[in-house]
Amino acid sequence: MRVRAILVALLLAGDAAAEEAVLVAVASNFAHTATQLAARFEEQTGTAVRLSSGSTGKLYAQIVNGAPYDVFLAADAARPAILEHSGRVVPGSRRTYAIGRLVIYSIRADDCLAALRDPHGGHIAIANPVTAPYGAAARQYLERAGLWDGVSARAVYGENIAQTLQFASTGNAVVALVARSQLHTRFVPESRCSLEIPAAMHDPVEQQVVLLDADNPPAGAFVEFLRSATARRIIEQAGYEVAR
Amino acid sequence: MNVYSPLWLSAQLAFVTTLILLGIATPIAWWLSQSASRLKAVAQAVVALPIVLPPTVLGFYLLILLGPDGAIGSWWVRFTGDALTFSFAGLVIASCVYSLPFAVQPLQNAFEGLPRAYLERAWTLGASRWDAFFSVAVPLSLRGFVSAAVLSFAHTLGEFGVVLMVGGNIPGETRVVSIAIYDHVETLDYAAAHRLSLILIGFAFVVLLAMFAINQRWSRR
């Protein structure tokens, strides 16, 4: 009898926990930081956060096709805006949670700018400007700096910002234009040169969040948590900027 | 660069790969079919590895091997001045690895099906080993060669993961059709994705249909 009571209690508890969990779709570039944020949120509230990471485009397609995510942490502002216009998000929930900065990174060159300018300097890796927000920002910077014509002939395009860094960290590309936050992660080989690109040289890479499920209060609490001082500090320490 | 140029690039890649593979796979398949060596099982396992391994494993090691500091890449740089990664030549090497079992296995099957007596008769009539191979074994194994060529071509056309890892998505050089479709889907350009995908589906179906039809007729003989 007592065993049955315990089993019933466990079942109910498990059920309640599943209902209260927050399911978050997160852009791959932010997945590591999101794990830290989720851990802190769980500490504070006792609510479990489950993360699914992928490219913003793929997660967007999943959401449009009915994926059961409560929160979407995108790598850009475009996809959250489309979701908002099509009425798939909780009105008023779309906000910038992190702003990305671009850096030039190389394990082969001593002078990052010289390597960008050298017409015989080998491949330059940037994220695909058509599909990846950091790629679009990289192209914008190169155009404003008058370097695009020289670079585009030697450019190789990463499918996403992670692959772009990998092209350079394996030495296959001489330099890569990547996100500053990536250089804060483990396993990135020591750079021989790295150079931060001034924020004024490209439109800000705004990463936006939207709340997808209005009926799950902990999900709203998680989105709200992202604005807290604690969350902002975690995001800044990961190499992003946060909106003032 | 129009929407169909990646298709043309893929066709070129598949064609070059198929030609090279027939050259490489024929001696391997012949040795496998004739050998009673204990190493045969090992060799067969090695040849079949690309069927089982995920493209990420092949892509990962090719990225390292073909890179400017890699075993193959550094050698290539010394001779041509260019790196192999992010180049058409690099994709050809990658595709040869990726599609090797699809060339070897049909050929090996065909060679193993040859009546041993025919070859022995050719030898006793004074034909050299080479002569017997080209004038007896090859014509009798034509079906194996057709299967090997068709499967290598089609399998290379369908390559995605390996190219994604070592290609670098350069238009006209490494942006093959599967990568182009992936980009179209990512950018929500479903019309372009449909156009290329439907052509691939149609092509794959026609090729496989032709092969099975030919096989059927051959076996009826």
Q: Which residues of B touch A170 (CB under 8 A)?
A: 63-64, 67
**How deeply is A127 buried, as exposed, middle or buried, from its count of CB atoms within 10 A (0-12, 13-18, 19+)?**
buried
Taking a C-beta distance cutoff of 8 angstroms, is the pair A7, A17 a contact? no
For residue A5, the model assigns a pLDDT of: 60
- Tokens representing B190 are 């479903």
Q: Is B12 exposed, middle or buried (0-12, 13-18, 19+ CB in 10 A)?
A: middle
CB pairs under 8 A between A and B: 50
- pLDDT of the residue at B172: 87
Nearest residue of A to residue B64 by CA position?
A: A170
Contacts of B183 in chain A (CB under 8 A): 128, 130-131
pLDDT in tens, chain B (221 residues): 578 999 999 999 999 999 999 999 999 999 999 998 889 999 999 999 999 999 999 999 999 999 888 999 999 989 888 889 999 999 999 999 999 999 999 999 999 999 888 888 888 888 888 888 888 889 999 999 999 999 999 999 999 999 999 998 888 889 999 999 998 887 778 899 999 999 999 999 998 898 888 888 877 65
Q: Which string of DSSP letters, residue by residue, matches chain B?
A: --TTHHHHHHHHHHHHHHHHHHHHHHHHHHHHHH---THHHHHHHHHHHHHHS-HHHHHHHHHHHHSTTSHHHHHHHHHHSS-STTSHHHHHHHHHHHHHHHHHHHHHHHHHTS-HHHHHHHHHTT--HHHHIIIIIHHHTHHHHHHHHHHHHHHHHT--HHHHHHS---TTTT--HHHHHHHHHHTT-HHHHHHHHHHHHHHHHHHHHHHHHHHHHHHH-
Query: A123, B168: Cβ pair inside 8 Å?
Result: yes
Nearest Cβ partner for A167 among B168, B182, B188:
B168
> Do the chains contact at B83 and A172, CB–CB below 8 Å?
yes
First to last CA, chain A: 58
Q: Which of B63, B164, B188 sits opposite A172 (nearest CB)?
A: B63
Quick one: pLDDT band at residue A7, thresholds 50, 70, 90? low
Query: Which of helix, strand or coil describes residue A43?
Result: helix
pTM of the model: 0.81
Nearest Cβ partner for A159 among B68, B83, B164: B164
Tokens of B210: 């032709």
Kindly determine whether residue B68 and residue A155, on different chains, have CB atoms separated by under 8 Å: no
Give the C-alpha separation, B113 to A91, whole Å. 69
C-alpha distances (whole Å) from B109 to each of A72, A214, B104, B141, B148 are 52, 61, 9, 9, 10
Average pLDDT over residues A200-223: 95
Min Cα separation B79/chain A (Å): 16
What 3-state class would DSSP assign to A138? helix
Confidence of residue A19 (pLDDT cuts 50, 70, 90): low
Closest Cα in chain B, distance from residue A208 (Å): 18
> CB neighbours of B186 closer than 8 A, spacing ≥ 6?
A55, A57, A58, A131
Provide the pLDDT confidence category of residue A17 given band limits of 50, 70 and 90.
Answer: very low
Contacts of A32 (CB under 8 A, 6+ apart): A185, A238
Contact flag A57-B169 (C-beta cutoff 8 Å):
no
- Among A57, A155, A172, beta carbon nearest to B68: A172
Residues of A with a Cβ under 8 Å from any B Cβ are 55, 57-58, 61, 122-123, 125, 128, 130-131, 155-159, 163, 167, 170-173
Tracing tokens 């300097």 back to the chain, one arrives at A121
What is the β-pairing status of strands A205-211 and A175-179?
unpaired
Residue range A146-191, pLDDT digits in tens: 999 999 999 999 988 889 999 999 999 999 999 999 998 888 999 9
Q: Could you report the predicted ipTM of this complex, rounded to two decimals?
A: 0.76
B146 contacts B214 by C-beta, under 8 angstroms: yes
In which band, very low, low, confident or very high, does the pLDDT at A235 lie, cut at 50, 70 and 90?
very high
